[in-house]
Chain A
Amino acid sequence: MAWMCTFAKSESMDKGLSNFIRSIRLKPVSIDSFTELSENVYVLSFKRLHDFLPGQVVAITTGLSIAPRLYSICSGSEETEISVLFNEKPEGELTPRLAKLKIGDSIMVSAPFGAFLGDNFPAWWIASGTGIAPFRSMIHSGLGKNNTLIHGGRTLDSFYFSAEFEKLYSDRYIRCCSQESGEGVYNGRLTHWLKEQQSLPENTNFYLCGSSEMVVEVRDILLSKGIAFERIMSEIYF
């Protein structure tokens, strides 16, 4: 059944993957909105010039002398703007420049691409930090209404968009905070929360998005609990 499901998905993905070379061509766009969600974490938005599939990424740079980086789209596929979530890394080359941008400034952006795509097959979505972005795009595109969303962060202010997720997912929205305590928040790493689960649902896919450390550790936990590797889809901050 899962195999059938993935083949069905593969056909729809071809659209998203076709002609990758074309997709890395960068075009200038103007920033329409720019919001600081928490310390050093921002959402920037610009006009949507292409259709995309929820879960896809765009390559972004501030200028052609700076190597573009890939960012998951965090807005819905029918929205008029594309939004991305990014974390300013002081030692980085691009994000300190992105963090200084203002509304009306120009950035270079590729067409959306990528195959970490959501569908309506039952799934657990597991993210750390800004890895929540593709799942928000899937939610805003009408996918995964009955899914479970698990988000790990170091501090309580790292649960970006939590108000909208709480409203939509209630007790299927699990926040795991490793360094602070808060009401309705599991106090510990999301890997601890996963280990504590007596059983995991059958006939469910598992989508992981975040740092390689999180993805590798969570994948090992899922495998140790009997989840087949074919059911685990991973997106890593490359």
Chain B
Amino acid sequence: MEKEPLFGKTPEELKVITQKLGMPNFTAKQISEWLYKNNARSFEEMTNLSKKARLLLEENYEVGVTDFSKVQASTDGTKKYLFPTQKNRFIESAYIPDAHRATLCVSSQVGCKMGCLFCMTGKQGFQAQLTAGEIINQIISLPERESLTNIVYMGMGEPFDNLEHVMRSLEIMTSEWGLGMSPRRITVSTIGVIPAMKHFLENSDCNLAVSMHTPFHEERRKLMPIENVYPIADVIRLLRSFDFGKQRRISFEYIMFAGINDTPEHVKELARLLNGMRCRINLIRFHPIPSTPLRSSNDATIEDFRAALVEKGIRTTVRASRGLDIFAACGLLSTKELVKQQALDF
């Protein structure tokens, strides 16, 4: 029988476990420190716990920290890590260093249900939710962990389709007792699952990125099925009802598709939709995936689009494509080849 992992549990949850095992209350705090401050990968390493306590934990639980099983390095310095998860499934994380910072792009699900037309992860369907421990494990087991400055939830999966574990992972990352990271260094990216996004905005100080890709409803619902139930206009209406202060950042991701969403009409509509909002648009080159009918806008068009948005008063940047040669760039993460023959049929 698989043992329950302790990594990913809060001190309160650890307290319930230690009480159940008849251990003193302070043991929970000690375990929490070993897990999140001291990088313990086995109970044996938790040397300030009694030997009896370590044995008891070993019999009933596992630490739950897992090494990556494969790494690929890009010529531009990006690295793509493959991590095993429950039931022989796999996820990918992308480590993206540059001159001023080092970002880790973490996954929140194995696969994805959202079915966006342009996304490679969507093509593998949905296999499982990641636990908070499996999300944090991507950080704690990263060889470059000490150099990390930023975390983005832009890997495999829709974070707000796994709200409970994503929120818990954010709590562990940002708590004093956890990894102690600043929420300003963490960005959660969503396609706009409104009820979960509202919960996140009310209960976290982390930054938010919304995958918009077009401001037009009819066009967006053909690129992103989510638009049928949570339209972008309502996503923005909800964002406008929140006070983000001066520190918390809202950005919109915008993949540029040639002849589809790169016209002056799109600039005009974006300016209308985002009028007065303190936000940024991040333009992204499209990285083609198999059997896609879409093509990327060329660099000149992207630059013209950026300049036109800036002229309308919208802060706009163009994201550098990183890790393209190892399929680690935006929208390319996938473990489809590793998904065993699924029981799922239709």
- A residues with a Cβ closer than 8 A to B are 6-7, 9-10, 13, 17, 20-21, 24, 57, 67-68, 70, 113-116, 128-129, 152-154, 178-179, 189-190, 210-216, 219-220, 223-224, 228-230, 232-238
Question: Which of B113, B234, B237, B294 is the one whose CB lies under 8 Å from A237?
Answer: B113
Question: Which of A67, A129, A213, A229 is the one whose CB lies under 8 Å from B293?
Answer: A229
A190 to B195 alpha-carbon distance, docked (Å): 33
Question: Which of B115, B193, B237, B293 is the one whose CB lies under 8 Å from A212?
Answer: B115
Does B55 make an interface contact (CB < 8 A)?
A: no
Does B26 make an interface contact (CB < 8 A)?
A: no
Counted as pairs of residues, one from A and one from B, with CB atoms less than 8 Å apart, the total is 106
A67 to B163 alpha-carbon distance, docked (Å): 11
- 9 CB contacts below 8 A, A to B, read A10-B217, A20-B230, A21-B237, A21-B238, A70-B229, A211-B125, A212-B125, A234-B228, A238-B226
A220 to B113 alpha-carbon distance, docked (Å): 16
Of listed B113, B227, B294, residue having the most chain A CB within 10 A: B113
Chain B residue contacts of A20, Cβ below 8 A: 194, 230-231, 234, 237
CB of A230 within 8 A of CB of B234, answer: no
CB of B346 within 8 A of CB of A116, answer: no
A212 to B226 alpha-carbon distance, docked (Å): 11
B108 CB, nearest partner CB in chain A, Å: 15
Of listed A10, A211, A212, residue having the most chain B CB within 10 A: A212
A223 to B115 alpha-carbon distance, docked (Å): 14
CB of A214 within 8 A of CB of B291, answer: no
A189 to B115 alpha-carbon distance, docked (Å): 19
A100 CB, nearest partner CB in chain B, Å: 23
Question: Which of B227, B293, B346 is the one whose CB lies under 8 Å from A115?
Answer: B227
CB of B115 within 8 A of CB of A216, answer: yes
Of listed A57, A114, A152, A190, residue having the most chain B CB within 10 A: A114
Chain B residue contacts of A228, Cβ below 8 A: 293
B177 CB, nearest partner CB in chain A, Å: 27
Chain B residue contacts of A232, Cβ below 8 A: 222
- B residues with a Cβ closer than 8 A to A are 112-115, 117, 122-123, 125-126, 161, 193-195, 217-218, 221-223, 225-231, 233-234, 237-238, 291-294, 342, 344-346
Question: Which of A70, A115, A210, A213 is the one whose CB lies under 8 Å from B221?
Answer: A115
A228 to B293 alpha-carbon distance, docked (Å): 8
Chain A residue contacts of B228, Cβ below 8 A: 114-116, 233-235
CB of B345 within 8 A of CB of A154, answer: yes
Question: Which of A17, A68, A211, A215 is the one whose CB lies under 8 Å from B234?
Answer: A17
- Please give me the residue from chain A that is nearest to B342 by CB atom: A213
A115 to B344 alpha-carbon distance, docked (Å): 27
CB of A7 within 8 A of CB of B346, answer: no
A10 to B226 alpha-carbon distance, docked (Å): 16
Additional A-B contacts beyond A20-B237, A128-B346, A234-B225 (10; CB < 8 A): A13-B217, A115-B228, A129-B346, A153-B346, A212-B122, A213-B125, A228-B293, A229-B222, A230-B222, A234-B228
A238 to B122 alpha-carbon distance, docked (Å): 13
A221 CB, nearest partner CB in chain B, Å: 9
Chain A residue contacts of B233, Cβ below 8 A: 17
Chain A residue contacts of B225, Cβ below 8 A: 215, 234-236
A18 to B30 alpha-carbon distance, docked (Å): 52
CB of B125 within 8 A of CB of A238, answer: no
CB of B114 within 8 A of CB of A178, answer: no
- Please give me the residue from chain B that is nearest to A153 by CB atom: B346
- Please give me the residue from chain B that is nearest to A17 by CB atom: B231
Chain B residue contacts of A154, Cβ below 8 A: 345-346
- Please give me the residue from chain B that is nearest to A13 by CB atom: B217
